[in-house]
Amino acid sequence: MKWARTTAIVFLLAVSTACLLANFIAPASYAHQFREEPNAAPSRQHLLGTDDLGRDRFSRVLYGTRVSLLLAPAAALLCSLLAAFIGGIAGFAGGWVERCVMAGTDLFLSLPWLFLLITVRALLPLNVSPIVSVLITFAMLGCLGWAGAARIICADARTLAQSDFILLARASGSDGLRLLWRHLLPNLKPILFAQFWISVPVFILTEANLGILGLGVAEPLPSWGSLLRELEGFSSISGQVWRLVPLILFILVVSSFHLVLTKEELPI
């Protein structure tokens, strides 16, 4: 499966590069409405046609992919760091600390995410630019997604804390912080890495779900969520297969993220 992994990495790199160069590649602004050409079919001017408001779909796919591809990993990083911190301390300390932290984690896991996101989104200030709005959305995703990962890291940290090499380090005079930083964290790296890669597609999907509910990234900034909203209702795509491009790209990118992980890196 090495070839599949290599293909996935190359594909992700190609997509990321195209998105980062969107300013140069995109034939039009993602927000500009060509009002005389709404719902246009692909043409030389609009490679993927235009959307319902006459905006160039190809440009929106480029910018939307950039938004999702840049911010989903950022949210995944935030989530993984929080999980490492909370889960690592709980697992390493053990006892009542672990029990308290894990009780909090369970509480967090039992919260209905989507409703929580909708509520938090409704409480935010109204006058924020689309860029700030998208940053807030992904920051929220990052802050809310740590609990599942923290449980896994806690279990791993607990096992490590009882291992012989930690006992040896303790016997050699290493104190708590040094033990955590020098001995525990490096051994948690593979699982953290795996958690990070797993979280990226999860956050992309969550933002897409929020977008489908109309609660994702604010207009006119595109994201995969807002692009996928075009596909609401299966009859909307009949005879307009080019509308499927964002969906195909989305599936390929999410699949590639999963393929990037080797079997050994998977947490379970």
Partner 1 sequence: MKKILTSFVLLILIALASGSARAQSGGELHFCLRSEPKTLNPLLAADDSSETIRYMTGGVLVRVNRLTQDLEPELATSWKVTNGGKAITFQLRDGLRFSDGTPFSADDVAYTMQQLMDPALHSPTGDAFRSSEGKVETQVLPRNRVRITFPAPIAGLDRLFDQVAIMSAKSPQKEMAVLGPYYVEVNKAGSYLILKRNPNYWEKDPAGRPLPYIESVRLDIQQNRDIEMLRLTRGEIHFINSLDAEYFDKVVAQDPSMAHDAGASLDSEEMWFNQVANSPLPPYKKAWFSSTNFRRAISEAINREDLARIVFRGHAHPAVGPVSPANKFWFNAKLQAHPFDQKSALQRLAQDGFRFQDGVLHDRDGHAVEFSVITNAGNKYRERMATMIQQDLSGIGIKLNVVTLDFPSLIERITHTFDYEACLLGLVNDELDPNAQMTLWLSSADSHQWNPSQKTPATAWEAEIDKLMRAQASTLDPKKRKEDFDKVQEIAWQQEPFIYLVNKNALSAVSPALHNAHPVVLRPQVYWNIDQLSLSSEVARNR
Residues 49-78 binding partner 1 (CB under 8 A) are 52-54
218 scored as a contact of partner 1 (CB under 8 A): yes
At 51, list the tokens. 């959307």
Q: Supply 206's token pair.
A: 């969550």
Does 128 participate in binding partner 1 (rule CB under 8 A)? yes
Question: By CB under 8 A, which span of 115-123, 163-171, 198-206, 244-252 interacts with partner 1?
Answer: 115-123
**Minimum gap (Å) between residue 31 Cβ and partner 1:** 7
Quick one: 136 or 252, whose CB is closer to partner 1?
A: 136
Beta partners for 56?
Answer: 50
Name the β-bridge partners of 50.
56
| Least separation in angstroms between CB 171 and partner 1 | 57
By CB under 8 A, which span of 30-38, 86-94, 105-113, 243-251 interacts with partner 1? 30-38
* Out of 172, 175, 233, 268, the residue judged to bind partner 1 by CB under 8 A: 233
Nearest distance from residue 44's CB to partner 1, in Å? Answer: 22
Residues in contact with partner 1, counted by CB under 8 A, come to a total of: 28
Could you say whether residue 136 binds partner 1 (CB under 8 A)?
Answer: no
Residue pair 208/190 in contact by the 8 Å Cβ criterion: no
126 binds partner 1 (CB under 8 A): yes
Q: Residue 262: which of 194, 192, 216, 172 has the closest Cα?
A: 194
Encode 211-226: b = buried (16+ Cβ within 10 Å), e = exposed: beeebbbbebbbbbbb
- Give dist(CA 174, CA 92) in Å, integer: 14
Rounded-to-integer distance, Cα 170 and Cα 252, Å = 47
Residue 25 touching partner 1 (CB under 8 A): no
Q: What is the 3-state secondary structure (H, E, C) of 9-54?
A: HHHHHHHHHHHHCHHHHCCCCCCCCCCCCCCCCCCCCCCCCECCCC
Instruction: Decide if residue 31 touches partner 1 (CB under 8 A).
Output: yes
Using rule CB under 8 A, residue 235 touches partner 1: yes
The DSSP annotation for 76-119 comes to HHHHHHHHHHHHHHHHHH-HHHHHHHHHHHHHHHHS-HHHHHHH
Asked if 236 touches partner 1 (CB under 8 A), the answer is yes
For partner 1, give the closer residue by CB, 112 or 233: 233
Of 6-14, 149-157, 212-220, 254-262, which segment contacts partner 1 by CB under 8 A? 212-220
Other Cβ atoms closer than 10 A to 180 = 18
| 232 is a site residue for partner 1 (CB under 8 A) | yes
Interface stretch with partner 1, choices 14-22, 62-70, 193-201, 213-221 (CB under 8 A): 213-221
Residues that bind partner 1 (CB under 8 A): 31, 33, 35, 38, 52-54, 118-119, 121-122, 126-130, 213-215, 218-220, 229, 232-236
